[in-house]
Amino acid sequence: MIEARDLSKRYGEVVAVDGVSFSVDRGEVVGFLGPNGAGKTTTMRMLTGFLPPTDGSAEIAGHDIFDDALAARRAIGYLPETPPLYPEMTVSSYVTFVARIKDVPRRARAEAVDRALERCALADVRSRVIGTLSKGFRQRVGLAQAIVHSPPVLILDEPTVGLDPIQIGEIRGLIAELAAGEGDDRHTIILSSHILAEVEAICRRVILINEGRKTVDASIDELTRDGKTLEGLFAQETARDTVAADSAAGGGGAS
């Protein structure tokens, strides 16, 4: 469903992403784990077509991100690090607006919006102005805009960053439901996080990224066999970045 081949991104002298390849099957929920600055956001932005890679290519649902860019983009729902919400719009008018941009046919639009609001538990606040909502609710609006066109693939960049523990629990629950849907409601998901507990809570598989390179790609079951812990692995793989490893391990309390 997602195929990344040797993706690289350089900013002048800085190599943000260095030859990252992986493949994600339909229905998988994969965690992109790595300390701040590892290259997670850059990789995700390349997959979504927002950022041209310096090298390499990718396919989303069989569509090349260059040769078939429109179809590739349509197949993706993207929650950026900072969702582009319009604070003065109401929840339902904003999600309707996104549905129109994403080419949801006019006839199907109202139903698609209702469905997205319902799935993100936003039905009760649909007429509220986005700017008056709590951060947790705004993040749900971010998820609703990502799913409104029923994309098979969801790319979620640090979906719980800045939320309080209760909101974090709610958003994680919501993501788990998005992964568990049936038919058009079933999504293949990549989510990024610098928090180990987050990835452990939601994902079955981890891709560890450090200094622009993929260093681990395995199921959590595999990685925690023989009494090994993800904490130990993360600390070992990011040893040069001990501050980030410490804060990532400390993030476990939020789950």
Q: Which stretch binds ligand ADP (CB under 6 A): 8-16, 59-67, 100-108, 237-245?
A: 8-16
Task: Indicate the pairing of strand 205-210 with strand 188-193.
Answer: unpaired
* Residue 14 is a binding residue for ligand ADP (CB under 6 A): yes
- Pick the closer one to ligand ADP by CB: 175 or 209: 209
| 96 near Mg ion, rule: CB under 5 A | no
Binding to ligand ADP in span 39-98, by CB under 6 A: 39-42
Nearer to Mg ion, 41 or 167 (CB): 41
16 counts as binding ligand ADP under rule CB under 6 A: yes
Q: Does 36 bind ligand ADP (CB under 6 A)?
A: yes
Strand, helix or coil for residue 86:
coil
Candidate ranges 37-45, 84-92, 116-124, 177-185; the one touching ligand ADP (CB under 6 A): 37-45
Tokens 């199921």, located at residue: 219
| By the rule CB under 6 A, 247 interacts with ligand ADP | no
Pairing of strands 76-79, 153-157: parallel
Contact 60, 236 (CB under 8 A): no
Strand partners of residue 66: none
Count Cβ neighbours within 10 Å for each residue of 7-41 and write b for 16 or more, e otherwise: bbbeeeeebbbbebebebeeebbbbbbbbebbbbb
For 93, residues 6+ apart whose C-beta sits below 8 A from its C-beta are none
Site string for Mg ion, 7-46 (x = CB under 5 A): ---------------------------------xx-----
Q: Which residues are near ligand ADP by CB under 6 A?
A: 11, 14, 16, 34, 36-42
Q: Which residues are near Mg ion by CB under 5 A?
A: 40-41
